Amino acid sequence: MKSHTFLILGIVIILAGGAWYFSAQRWPTTENSDDMMGQPTVVVTPGDGAMENDDSRYVVYSPEAFDAAKNKKRVFFFFAPWCPTCVPTDKAFQANLNQIPEDVVLFKTDYDSSTELKKQYSITYQHTFVLVDDNGNEVKKWNGGGMNELVDNTQ
């Protein structure tokens, strides 16, 4: 009977410790206005889908914004708000816009609704980047990564 009591007590302690551990973690969410380092984020969202100005380096994808950036290197970032790696990457891009090369426009492209683009570039999962040429043809594709990979792949 004592071993049964110790077993139950051990399970309770393990569950309580796990609950405490996970509740103490600071998980990034789309509602959180700070990035993972506590820095405020900058949200770049053009009102009509077009680029607001020539300095916009990270914009929400729309055909109009894509066409407006034809004189720059264009990269799709297939993002999903439910993706555990996309959210912190998005926040890092927003917080460090000046690190995106001046000749690059990164398009935050909705993974769930951009079905035609996913077909066109054979995208099978979120957190995929596609660098395209002036005609929209794929030049390079990579999965995962952040600012360093963006810079390396667009040089």
Q: Which domains does the chain have, with CATH numbers?
A: 58-153 (3.40.30.10)
The edge-to-edge listing of strands for the beta sheet with 104-110 is 58-60, 104-110, 73-79, 128-132, 138-143
- pLDDT mean over 80-102: 93
Banded pLDDT at 1 (limits 50, 70, 90): low
Rounded CA-CA distance 77/132 in Å is 12
| Residue with tokens 């794929």, as numbered in its chain | 138
- pLDDT mean over 65-89: 93
Evaluate if residue 52 carries a pLDDT over 60: no
Banded pLDDT at 11 (limits 50, 70, 90): confident
- pLDDT mean over 67-96: 93
* Residues in contact with 144: Cβ distance below 8 Å, sequence separation at least 6, in sequence order: 85, 127
